[in-house]
Structure 1
Amino acid sequence: MARADVLVTARFFDGEARRVLLEQGCQVSHADVPHDGVDSTITPAMHQALLTARAWIVGIAPVTREVLQRYPQLQVVTRRGVGFDTVDTMAVRELGRLLTNTPGGNEPSVADHALGLMLGVGKRLAESHQRMRDGNRTVLVGTELYRKTVGLVGLGRIARQIVQRLQGFEVRVLAYDVVQDPVYAAAAGVEYAPLEQVLAQSDYLSLHAPLSEGTRHLLGSQAFGQMKRGAILVNTARGELVDDAALLAALESGHLGGAGLDVLGSERDASLQAVTDRLLALPQVLCTPHAAGSSREGLARSNLLAAQCVLAALQGNAVPPQCIVADGRMPLAA
């Protein structure tokens, strides 16, 4: 393979993955993305690297049609992660490029994180910690996860890992998904149900749906009104699945018991920052900065798979089919 330039804007890209690329003759450039990737601005450093890059390993940086057209030599975009709603997949196909992702890389980490948020909010860990820092040893009474009903909105790979982790808690698991797998559900003890039933019966509700026009603000005032009083919401998927203003109202009124949020609408919409600030000020809310997938192990797996996808594509070899999101390349001659 002739030397190929590879731009990496995914944070925490480790030395092992970089070594794999370098050993195959790639020239690897790193550039920081503004605001952890939510800004669509191409910085001067990114622009300079993209002028010659044939592959781009991205975190959550937007990859628009305009960007793809501006850098015609860019053949491969690899999303270090699973979600790809920040990439214009139609433009990838129409402009003859390849988009891949890294399924399986950070799923255990996200599943651990979601379970941690359930326990953290239910047992009021952040509140208790802050009180002790303030010199207050008053005991706060929380709620158990044991033998509760856990609702999953979306039953993909991450949600299934959560099901596995929940077995020791003897919970009842309800799931809503537009695509159902009754064989898996029967084996795992999961009950499929309409969304309204999942909302009404869940003590803990965890979101794992992809972001689309159909799922944007899937949970708003009406949905929160259908939820059980005192229920806890966990979101490690996409902030836009939730109307944060409606969530704030449901928490402030006491209808919801708490929320564990790794993602927020203000990540991509700065006008929602005031709502985020009010959510952060609530003692029953536990937030993390879109960090669910960022374990050392998960990042290492995802980085390595991203590098392998890039190399396979640039060398004309088969890319793992489970990693291909959109492929606009000409079919290989017979």
Structure 2
Amino acid sequence: MTTQHKVLVTTRFFDDEAADYLRREGCTVVTAGLPHGQTDAELSPARLHELLAGVSGWIVGVVPVTREVLAAAPALQVIARRGVGYDNVDVAAAKQLGKVVTIAPGGNEPSVADHAVAMMLAVAKRLRETHDRMAAGDWVPLSGTEVYRKTVGLVGLGRIARGVAQRLRGFETKILAYDVAPDLGYAESHDISIVDLLTLLSQSDYVSLHLPLMPQTAHMIDAAAIARMKPTAILINTARGGLIDEAALLAALQDGRLAGAGLDVFEAEADAGQRPTADALLRLPNVVATPHAGGASREALARANLIAAQTVIDVLDRRTPAAERVVVDGRSAG
């Protein structure tokens, strides 16, 4: 790299190895200086505009990357998401403005797959409820259920879902999967039955969501979908909160029409008006929740940080990153 570029990092937990890699490639690394516990979503528009001045590459967290933000940063060439989701980025605007948007596949998938299975077990074995009762002095055992030889439905059969299926083999589970464009060869070779969504919902003991949030997937798990599920079923979401109509989920859990839920993501992450529903879900004993932490293992963060840094350098050096890392490349249009 012959030109000194400025790279802005607004993600939390960006490690020294990834930052040093950027510096070795001739970049100046600028951070947002966020207080502990805050994300870049809390950056004011004025502060974000200030940080982006003269920046060529941006490793972004969850702050909305709007057309207005992109248009106000003419030097910005590449927006790199550390995860595989990019619903906070206006990719159409990025392409039109000649910018590249990338993701980091291979970074957090093992960690999220671990997390999904952990949530299945935690809800099934009533770990949260048992812990709370013991802390209150009640040591009477509660009766839970098993994952062993149950039917697990994977909604989406991408990298994370495949990792979940791999981990569940030791439990001798029957795996069903729904995907709009399923890899039938992969499914057959891994003993995964491809079914329609209604069949999956009605037959599964555990339903685990592994889809991006798009207009066609928003609230796909609504009151009607939940009504198709077994009352003994457990719903797991480590993907995006907007996939579930959380008001409908809350009602089903309160009424005993669903056994439990493991939720790593919530609609309230993108819409503060949904916080009361999220808070009500958190108060239920049959809900195990985490704050979008599925990919937050030390190992996953290190992998994803380095992948994001590598894609930034590829673009700044006028190379094309690996195809699976590119969401849009607007350089030919810009």
* CA offsets 1:38-57 (integer angstroms, 9 cap, x no match): 4574352x322201100100
Q: What is the rounded CA distance, in whole Å, between the counterparts of 1:222 and 1:76 in structure 2?
A: 41
Deviation at 1:33, TM superposition (A): 6.3
Determine helix, strand or coil for the equivalent of 2:291.
coil
Contact in 1 for aligned 2:177/2:200 (Cα 8 Å): yes
What is the identity, as a one-letter code, of the residue corresponding to 2:58?
W
Contact 2:49/2:69, CA 8 A, preserved across alignment: no
| Partners of 1:91 and 1:32 in 2: CA distance | 27
Name the counterpart of 1:302.
304
Contact in 2 for aligned 1:40/1:62 (Cα 8 Å): no
* One-letter code aligned to 2:144: G
2:77 equivalent in structure 1:
75
Among 35, 42, 46, the alignment partner of 2:45 is: 42
Other structure's SS at 1:225 match: helix
RMSD: 1.5
Q: Which one-letter code corresponds to 1:185 in the other structure? A: A
Aligned partners of 2:12 and 2:61 also within 8 Å: yes
Give the Cα separation in 1 of the matches to 2:321 and 2:201. 39
Alignment of 1:142-221 (within 5 A): 142-221=144-223
SS at match of 1:53: coil
Q: Deviations over 1:122-162 (max 9, x none)?
A: 00011111111111101000000000000010000000010
Matched, 1:141 2:127: no
Is the Cα contact below 8 Å between 1:121 and 1:232 reproduced in 2? yes
Query: Alignment partner of 2:146: what SS?
Result: coil
Look up the equivalent residue of 1:229 and give its one-letter code: P
- What does residue 15 of structure 2 align with? 14
- Say whether 1:4 aligns with 2:2: no
Inter-partner Cα distance in structure 2 for 1:229 and 1:330:
52
* d(CA) in 1 for partners of 2:128, 2:187: 34
CA distance in 1, matches of 2:33, 2:232: 41
Which residue does 1:56 correspond to in 2?
58
TM-score (norm 1): 0.96
Q: State the secondary structure of the residue aligned to 2:321.
A: coil
Supply the distance in 1 between the matched residues of 2:42 and 2:204 (Cα, whole angstroms).
Answer: 36
Where does residue 312 of structure 1 map in the other structure?
314
Structure 1 segments unaligned to the other structure (5+ residues): none
Inter-partner Cα distance in structure 2 for 1:274 and 1:191: 38
Q: CA deviation at 1:318?
A: 3.0
* Alpha-carbon distance in 2 for matches of 1:133, 1:47: 48
> C-alpha deviations, 1:254-296, integer Å up to 9, x for none?
0100000000111111111111111111000000000000000
Pairs aligned (count): 331
- Is 2:128 the partner of 1:131? no
Query: Share of identical aligned residues, percent?
Result: 52
Aligned counterparts of 2:235 and 2:4: Cα–Cα separation in 1: 48
Cα 1:190–1:33, aligned 2, differ >3 Å: closer, same or farther? farther
Is contact 1:37–1:62 with CA below 8 Å preserved after alignment?
no
TM-score (norm 2): 0.96
The residue type paired with residue 316 of structure 1 is R
User: Does the CA-based 8 Å contact 2:123-2:234 persist in structure 1?
Assistant: yes
Q: State the distance in 2 between where 1:187 and 1:23 align.
A: 43
Decide which moves more: 126-135 or 199-208. 126-135
- Structure 1 residue 6, shift from structure 2 partner: 0.4
Q: For residue 26 of structure 1, what is the aligned residue in structure 2?
A: 27
